[in-house]
A and B are shown apart, each in its own frame.
Chain A
Amino acid sequence: MGRKILLEHIDKPGIDQIESYIKYGGYRSVSKALKEMTPDEVTEEVKKSGLRGRGGAGFATGLKWSFLDKSTDKPRYLLCNADESEPGTFKDRLLMEKIPHLLIEGMITSSYALGCNTSYIYIRGEYMFILRILQKAIAEAYAKGFLGKNILGSGFNLDLYVHPGAGAYICGEETALIESLEGKRGNPRIKPPFPAVSGLWNCPTIVNNVESIAAVVSIVNEGGDEYAKTGIGKSTGTKLISASGNINKPGVYEIEMGVPVEEFIYSDEYCGGIKNGLELKACVPGGSSVPILPKHHLLYESNGNPRLMSYESLSEGGFATGSMLGSGGFIVYDEKQCIVRNTWNFARFYHHESCGQCSPCREGTGWMERVLHNIEYGHGKMEDIDLLWDIQRKIEGNTICPLGDAAAWPVAAAIRHFRHEFEYHVKYRNRVFDEDHVYQPEMKAQLV
């Protein structure tokens, strides 16, 4: 069993209530930080921990914090990104539903480090039932004196609120999240200025993912060096992986960074192998935006070494043979799944979620969806495959925010690794699928 940092107490009775949470060591980081440490010392520990943003980008959290503009007398804001909308990702939900106080504790300690007196948790609107759990937990924290004025007699004040979105994937992008919190459409802003200089209401702002903020609790309690002992290389600590698709045991697992991918898929401790005794075909290891990998690239790095669950190992080989750890949304496909259909599905998603600001994304995502729909439903032409490649290449890097890249990469990777499936669709129309659009390898074999 690997070390558990975030989910250690998840099964303890009543852990969603403050008494039980405190009984199991909760809120220690608040008293330690506020009574024994300066804000800069807290930031220093986060830097030492090597913690990287758990929302998907993997940017060093301590470094991000150090960019916060403290030279003005404007208020500073910490926003927690709980917009969790990346297909395949459902890890933050577990943390907030089961151990809401871990996030709240992390918000208090982090707000102290950053000098914020008002902080917000921006949660996706569909998670309204979790918003209510968080609000109840926040009320408990106020009652115990962990929130409000003069927390634990330290002189530090903090108000914490939960703010719901209303159904828009784009609001997980930090500047779109800020726009949304200001009561506007979720249109990402042009950077610079970055939020650390000019964010919410043009004030210096830090936006961090739920899991990143929860990790700060352990970093303050045990020290950044201790946290960094877990994991491998520049992937320190543990990571929540939300596993879905054709596996025996879908769910959220906390892994020590560095677990071999093969072990994660086949071990009974984690995914428990492929469902119905089928073969592993492919996997999207870090949420729908990251490149899909066929089995051999998934399990082995380009040098033949086993691929590990870490930022470095999953991206080894670049996009030619690698992918990304991303948000930890680990989607597994068995041999019967159709890559074309899956790619069309994701293209539809990005078309639906494009905010419409940048032409390459607004037009390109819809174009890719239509071309993929044609191929999937037997109306495709061979040159459509090259057309798709061309469209995705012209979206990537040409948009204000990374949604364009996120829409382009799945299409590029599917063509890169599974071009033959696209060609089969064009050549044999949709006859390689049964009536449920389930890919039939044996039918394909007959057609070759």
Chain B
Amino acid sequence: MTQTEQITFSQKSMEEMDRIILQYPPDKKKSALLPVLHIVQQENGNWLSTEVMDKIAKILDIKPIEVYEVASFYSMYNLEPVGKIVIEVCHTGPCMICGAEKIIAHIENKLNIKVGETTEDKMFTLKTVECLGACGYAPMFQIGEQYYENLTIEQVDNILDSLRKEKEAIN
């Protein structure tokens, strides 16, 4: 586990993790696993490497396998690198009958990738996800923590173009 030595998290993340661990009894630190993985995933470019997961195992006094089995079970954890902007389009029933498939096809064409792929410039990853609890405001997608609802093709273009500009300005 020498690689875990090289993994460090920001002061802010460490403090946030300490605060979360205190929400559970002292001998139940493992309960903090899901919220802690969210924090480190965000800090680590939106995915979880083996080294990051090993480091979390050490912090929570659990075995690495206990982290891997959780990280691979829940759909929100990415076990491979993804683009800077991950577009998660809901394609479950109510969204489907309100036009989700057209939105997905449009994004595939616009970005020249298929669902599950990342653009060559590593800017966008397109994913389809199951019901996000926005059925009445369909079609919709989630990017980061934000929901974008009642989407039209025009709005999709505007949202993706402006997010791309934002990210490019940061670089």
Contact = CB atoms under 8 A, between A and B. Distances in A.
A127 B133 contact: yes
A244 B136 contact: yes
Contacts of A345: 91-93, 96
A186 B146 CA distance: 25
A125 B131 contact: no
B75 A167 contact: yes
Contacts, number: 143
A23 interface: no
Q: Of residues A129, A163, A166, A349, which shows the largest number of chain B Cβ atoms within 10 Å of its Cβ?
A: A166
Main secondary structure, interface of A, reads: mixed
Interface string A80-113: 0000111111100100000000000000000000
A329 interface: yes
B67 to A, nearest CB: 9
A400 to B, nearest CB: 16
Of the four ranges (under 10, 10 to 19, 20 to 34, 35 or more), the interface on chain A belongs to: 35 or more
A346 interface: yes
B94 to A, nearest CB: 4
Interface stretch (A1-9, A177-185, A300-308, A381-389): A177-185
Contacts of B77: 166-167
B101 A166 contact: no
Given A125-B74, A125-B76, A166 B133 contact: no
Contacts of A437: 101
Given A125-B34, A129-B147, A352-B130, A87 B93 contact: yes
B38 A125 contact: yes
A164 B38 CA distance: 9
Contacts of B142: 126
Given A89-B135, A345-B92, A166 B37 contact: yes
Nearest to A92: B133
Contacts of A181: 31
A163 B34 contact: yes
A163 B130 CA distance: 21
A168 interface: yes
A243 interface: yes
A181 B29 CA distance: 11
22 contacts: A87-B94, A87-B131, A88-B94, A89-B131, A93-B133, A125-B34, A128-B38, A163-B31, A167-B74, A167-B75, A181-B31, A182-B31, A183-B30, A183-B31, A183-B66, A185-B69, A242-B136, A250-B138, A251-B136, A331-B93, A349-B92, A437-B101
Interface of A: 84-90, 93, 120, 124-129, 161, 163-169, 180-186, 201, 242-246, 250-252, 284, 288, 329, 331, 333, 337, 341-342, 345-346, 349, 352-353, 355, 436-437
Given A90-B135, A242-B136, A250-B138, 18 more contacts: A87-B130, A90-B134, A128-B38, A129-B146, A164-B38, A166-B38, A167-B75, A167-B77, A168-B74, A183-B30, A201-B28, A244-B98, A245-B98, A252-B136, A288-B93, A288-B131, A329-B135, A349-B130
